[in-house]
Amino acid sequence: MKSYKWYVPVFLIIIIIFQPFLSQWFAVGGISINFVLYFTMLFAFTKKPAHSITVAAVVGLTYDMIYSNWLGKMIILLVVGTIFVMIVDKRIYRENIPGLILFFFAAIFLLENINTIMETGFGEYFGSILFIQTRILWMSLYAAALSIIAGIAYFLTSLRGDRKIRMKGA
């Protein structure tokens, strides 16, 4: 059987390159999510933990080298997001759409708050917390809406194959 371990990093590198364009094309009311963060966490549901952490670190390093002011911010966010996925992965099935909605809403809300604090610092963050929380809340709702599509895709792909394998989540 062929191994397709290469497609996730390649897809995420392509998402990194097109992130500025995607955020403009798919913005709803001027609000868009970080697609790199979202898809890295989404693929972490389907991969083994060691592979997921490695992909998150490599993609985070690539993102930081292209877009960030300081090296390590996106690595931290992607690895923490992947660790969230590993914690929750055993407790909810990928096909559980309400579970995915709740998970992505909470994870994006928390990770975008961490991202904003790392970018602006505590002083500016708490100085304009109402505006920031409103934007982050809308980003989280956007990610939750996208997780409906992801849950349906997981469900449709799980219809193939052996039931024992599907129930393990492997």
CATH of the domain at 38: 1.10.1760
Q: For residue 170, what pLDDT is reported?
A: 47
Model pLDDT, residue 1? 39
Q: Could you give the CA distance from residue 105 to residue 22 in angstroms, rounded to a whole number?
A: 20
Output the CA angle 134-103-126, nearest 5 degrees: 30
- Within-domain flag for 1: no
Residue 90 in domain: yes
Q: Identify the sign of the CA torsion 79, 81, 87, 89.
A: negative
Does the residue 109 lie in any domain? Answer: yes
- Please report whether residue 69 resides in a domain: yes
Residue type for 160, please?
Answer: R
Domain count for the chain, please give it. Answer: 1
Whether residue 2 lies inside any domain: the answer is no
**Cβ-contact 34, 61 below 8 angstroms:** no
- The pLDDT of residue 81 is 92
The dihedral sign for the CA sequence 144, 6, 93, 77? negative
Mark the ranges of the chain whose per-residue pLDDT is less than 70.
1-5, 93-95, 160-170
Do the beta carbons of residue 39 and residue 7 sit within 8 Å? no
* Domain-located, residue 94: yes
- The strand pairing partners of 28, in sequence order, are 31
Question: Residue 32 falls within a domain, yes or no?
Answer: yes
For residue 47, the enclosing domain spans 7-168
**Is residue 125 in some structural domain?**
yes
Give residue 78's pLDDT: 92
